[in-house]
Structure 1
């Protein structure tokens, strides 16, 4: 693990959330208010290496690897994929924070982690003071509005959901190629140097575990099945939690959709913007812009504000 290099002063724990699942957790800072960070595909806690350490003087900062990813447990998926639903992953996050002594916290997510955030604030709005979502729209909306451009750039959405172990078998042969191909496909050209070789190797090493590929496949299978059932029930629910939405101005999501307007249909209090010179990996490509926006948003929605 590269935790000591990129997150100096953070402690590292495996926190038991039940059913033989342990969540890899990093904790830093000592503030009364806590921020929980959730990463996306195909990464882990390292997504936040440029952002999270710079918030520890004011906040307790918590980073986790989602189940199936990184150094967290990777259970075998159930027939209905429910143990990889965003509801289950959200419950993992809540249990981790409760065991750390936080029953209410700020929430920040990118990509798959942001989808977990979305489900968490629908199921447990009382737990979240503010929520920052990076480079997503609701899963239901994105599947409903899929077009050729989206399907080409986000091909893995449709590949991972195939059954009978197809993605697991086909991705077992060359983790190095897949990680580099997938990241380079969606990183803006000016941010390539932000993905150093040691970080890429950490992502590759995690993805080399066959159970990681299985866990990730189950995450996507859940999104196309059981998650959509939950999302359909809540489709017209107006989120009350304050939202900051950020997206890469040069990325696929920002080019296809009006991100801010779409989230304003789903939530009462939404602010945000497209991050300039940025593709999909927003917190790694433009961390200074993200950090400034995040600090302002957190301060505006402080417990004492």
Structure 2
């Protein structure tokens, strides 16, 4: 099985003195950047990227700390803050010659995308989000026994040491649990792709934990400051997610509308890995959004 996006070139692009991002680039036309989630790599976009490349320049990086991108040691809360990771993406696009682009993210990549939209509204023209709510809201909607669905958030929020050792001791079982539990169509992640995700994740335990740890600390601080200042996502925003609102007892569309007044909010019956389970649905969201 070809574990790359057909027709895409692969490059390493430096975004600062320590970090280069492994990036797949293909197509021609207005630029679109696609950011992957956990526990995956840029490969999760293989179907969607190939479709969009018919009339867009599509840029698909591995986030810092993931896949084949660099994994700097965690030296403080900023190393894996979503602000730092968003700056990576803006710099990456600039170095490819794009000073304004559409941005889509899934899971962890969606949190990076939200931060990019808040911090760089002059750069992000359109924003698409798959299956999350913003970091601050994520913690607020988790409560009681229902929060067990997100046990990994609490584990990886702990101080350095214990979570890294626990996860590294059974990395394939840990990461494989999410690949199995969060999908409604296991065949959408065939064996070679699944193994690629597991291999990439087991090689990145410290940086993945650091990414999650930031989401329980500095990322919350950044979101809270934006909420208090009234900052919003001013570009057109499209959200596609499972019906987490019904599952956890909140109004997901209202949560998003507080951040994004120009909102197209959609629900799907697909599982969490919707870009692989139902790529046509994700492409439709993106194309509808890009037409606005």
> Which residue number in structure 1 is paired with residue 54 of structure 2?
57
Cα gap change, 1:125/1:207 in structure 2, threshold over 3 Å: closer, same or farther? same
- In the alignment, the residues of structure 1 paired with residue 201 and residue 256 of structure 2 have an alpha-carbon distance, to the nearest angstrom, of 32
Query: How far apart, CA to CA, are the structure 2 residues paired with 1:254 and 1:297?
Result: 25
Are 2:251 and 1:258 aligned?
Answer: yes
In structure 2, the CA distance between the partners of 1:55 and 1:214, relative to structure 1 (3 Å rule), is same
Q: Counterpart of 2:289?
A: 297
Contact persistence 1:9–1:28 (CA under 8 A): yes
Distance apart, 1:138 and its partner CA: 1.2
Quickly say closer, same or farther: Cα 1:246–1:202, change in 2 above 3 A.
same
Distance between the aligned counterparts of 2:265 and 2:139, measured in 1?
22
Corresponding position of 1:269: 262
Alpha-carbon contact 2:172-2:198 (below 8 Å) kept: yes
Residue 140 of structure 1, CA deviation: 0.5
**2:22 corresponds to which residue?**
24
Shift of 1:175: 2.4
Answer yes or no: is the 8 Å Cα contact 1:243–1:271 preserved in 2: yes
Q: 2:127 aligns with which of 107, 127, 131?
A: 131
Q: CA deviation at 1:293?
A: 2.0
Q: 1:254 to 1:121 in 2, by over 3 A?
A: farther
Q: Partners of 2:14 and 2:246 in 1: how far apart?
A: 37
Q: Cα distance 1:5–1:199, how it changes in 2: closer, same or farther (>3 A)?
A: closer
Match of 2:240 in 1: 246
Contact kept? 1:153, 1:185, Cα under 8 Å: no
Structure 1 residue 25: deviation in Å?
0.6
| Structure 1, unaligned runs of 5 or more | 301-305
SS at match of 1:83: coil
When residues 70 and 114 of structure 1 are mapped into structure 2, their CA distance, relative to the original with a 3 A threshold, is same
Tell me the equivalent position of 1:35.
32
The alpha-carbon deviation at position 173 of structure 1 amounts to 2.4
Aligned position for 1:105: 101
Q: What is the CA deviation profile of residues 113-139 of structure 1, one whole-angstrom value per residue up to 9, with x for unaligned ones?
A: 000011111110000110001111111
1:282 to 267, 274, 290: 274
Distance 2:62 2:145 in 1: 30
Aligned CA distance change for structure 1 residues 299 and 76 (closer, same or farther; 3 Å)? same
Calculate the TM-score normalised by the size of structure 1.
Answer: 0.91
Alignment match, 1:198? 192
Provide the aligned length of Structure 1 versus Structure 2: 289
Structure 2 residues not aligned, in runs of 5+? none
Specify the alignment match of 1:303 in structure 2: none
Q: What is the DSSP-based 3-state SS (H/G/I as helix, E as strand, rest coil) of the residue aligned with 2:32?
A: strand
Q: Which structure 2 residues correspond to residues 167-246 of structure 1 after superposition, within 5 A?
A: 167-188=163-184, 191-209=185-203, 212-235=204-227, 236-246=230-240
Q: Which of the residues 5, 8, 11 maps onto 1:7? A: 5
Measure, in 2, the Cα distance between the counterparts of 1:225 and 1:248: 26
**What are the Cα deviations for residues 56-78 of structure 1, in whole angstroms up to 9, with x where unaligned?**
11100000111111111111102
The 1:52/1:227 distance shift into structure 2, 3 A limit, reads: same
Alignment RMSD, CA only? Answer: 1.5
Normalization by structure 2: what TM-score?
A: 0.95
